[in-house]
Amino acid sequence: MNAQGRSMLLWGLALGFLLGTAQATEVAIRRAGGQGWGAQTAYGQLFDPATVENLRGEVVSVERFTPLRQMGYGFLVVLETSTETIDVHVGPGWFVAEQDFEIAPGDRIMVRGSRILFDEKPAIIATEVRKGDRLLKLRLDNGQPVWSEEEGG
C-alpha cells in the first residue's frame, strides 16, 4: 500500500472512531437523563411521589413541547377526563419515539403520574400510560426515569 493509501485508511479509521464515539456519547447523555429530563434536574425535581394518582380519559391532542429552557423537546398529551382537561407530560421526544407505542387524538388512555403545578396550572408528569392492553412505562413511582441510569430519584 502506498503512502496515499495508508493516509486514506488512517483518516477513514479515525473518522469511524470519532463518529462511533460521538454516537455512544449521545446515547450515554440521553440515558443519564441528559437534555434536562433526569430525576435530579430542575424539571425532574418537580415530580412529587406524594401526588401520584391515576387518571382516565380521552386524548384531545398530542404535542411536542419543551418544558424548561435548555431541555430537549418532549411529548405532551392533553387529556380530557370526566372532571377536567389536563396536560400530561409524557417524556423526552427521543425516548418516546423509540417505543412501539402510539397515542393519538380520540384514544382512551389511563395515565399514572405525579400531579404538579406547571406554568401555574395543574399537570401530570406521567409514570406510565396505558392504552388497551399496551403499557408505556416512563418512570418509577419515585420519579426515577426508566431511560436514565441515575441513582436514586
Whether residue 53 has pLDDT greater than 60 = yes
C-alpha span between 33 and 151 (Å, rounded): 11
Whether residue 32 has pLDDT greater than 90 = no
Give pLDDT tens digits for 85-137.
999 999 999 999 999 999 999 999 999 999 999 999 999 999 999 999 999 99
Return the minimum-mean-pLDDT range out of 21-25, 77-81, 99-103, 110-114. Answer: 21-25
Q: Which CATH superfamily is domain 44-137 in?
A: Nucleic acid-binding proteins (2.40.50.140)
C-alpha span between 61 and 104 (Å, rounded): 7
Are the C-beta atoms of 3 and 38 separated by less than 8 Å? no
Q: What is the pLDDT of residue 70?
A: 82
What is the band of 9 on the pLDDT scale with cuts at 50, 70, 90? low
Amino acid at 4: Q
- List helix spans (H) across 32-145: 93-98
CA–centroid distance for 61 within its chain: 17
Q: Kindly report the pTM of this predicted structure.
A: 0.77
Whether residue 19 has pLDDT greater than 70 = no
Whether residue 51 has pLDDT greater than 70 = yes
Q: What is the pLDDT of residue 67?
A: 92
Domain positions in the chain are 1-31, 44-137
C-alpha span between 50 and 62 (Å, rounded): 26
Are the C-beta atoms of 94 and 106 separated by less than 8 Å? no
Q: What is the pLDDT of residue 69?
A: 85
Cβ-defined contacts of 79-84 (< 8 Å, 24+): 79/55, 79/109, 79/111, 79/124, 81/55, 81/56, 81/57, 82/56, 82/57, 84/122
Q: What is the mean pLDDT of the chain?
A: 84
